[in-house]
Amino acid sequence: MRVLVIEDDAETAAYIVKGLIEHGHVVDHAANGREGLFLAVAGGYDVAIIDRMLPALDGLSLVKSLRGEGVGTAVLFLTNLGGIDDRVEGLDAGGDDYLTKPFAFSELLARINALARRPAITAAETALRCADLEMDLLKRSVTRNGRAIDLQPREFKLLECLMRHAGRVVTRTMLLEMVWDFHFDPKTNIVETHMSRLRAKVDRGFESELIHTIRGCGYSLRAQS
């Protein structure tokens, strides 16, 4: 696979690049965020490994810019910032996975291989729809009744999950795993907070609500009958 490593620490970068090449991957390296953004937008990479604390442009801003440009490259944050809030912030910015330093190369390799195996958007599925709500997966845009809805990367992913399961109940645990890649309960109200923000954007100002709370179970996206 093609991998982009955006890391300003020369020793860490050399270690990652050498290991990936030895495993048969094609690797490019950028030592600052601005150069990394340029390569990521133009390069067509399968996975980008990005440090959060970068010169010229920090990792969070870099990934937000990527998602804003419609670049769907899988992103693994690799950073010294290992708190729950740091991880949530990274995933909310548009990251797909999060690994803290120090790290074992075997785990890094396993994680990027897992990201690369995630199914790509096919030509047959470039849009999702529920009632008058439409999502363009290629343009990463959302409209309802023709009105554009501006969503943050994590809100987009949350709504995508609901739309892919339209008419069915999606539990909090499912959302933590599919949207935040948490395989444990972080004991925060992260799901509820983001769902509240999403509801305000998707339902407020429209005649009917599409996002419903199923008490004791989770959430469901469906048109009212």
Over residues 147-180, the pLDDT tens digits come to 999 999 889 999 999 998 888 888 988 898 888 8
Residues 96-124, mean pLDDT to the nearest whole number? 82
CB atoms within 10 A of CB 153: 19
- This prediction's pTM: 0.65
How distant is the alpha carbon of residue 194 from its chain centre?
14
Q: Quick check: 41 pLDDT over 70?
A: yes
Kindly report the average pLDDT of the chain as a whole number: 89
At residue 123, does pLDDT exceed 50? no
Q: What is the pLDDT of residue 156?
A: 93
What's the rounded Cα separation, in Å, for the pair 42 and 44? 6
At 28, is the pLDDT very low, low, confident or very high (cuts 50, 70, 90)?
Answer: very high
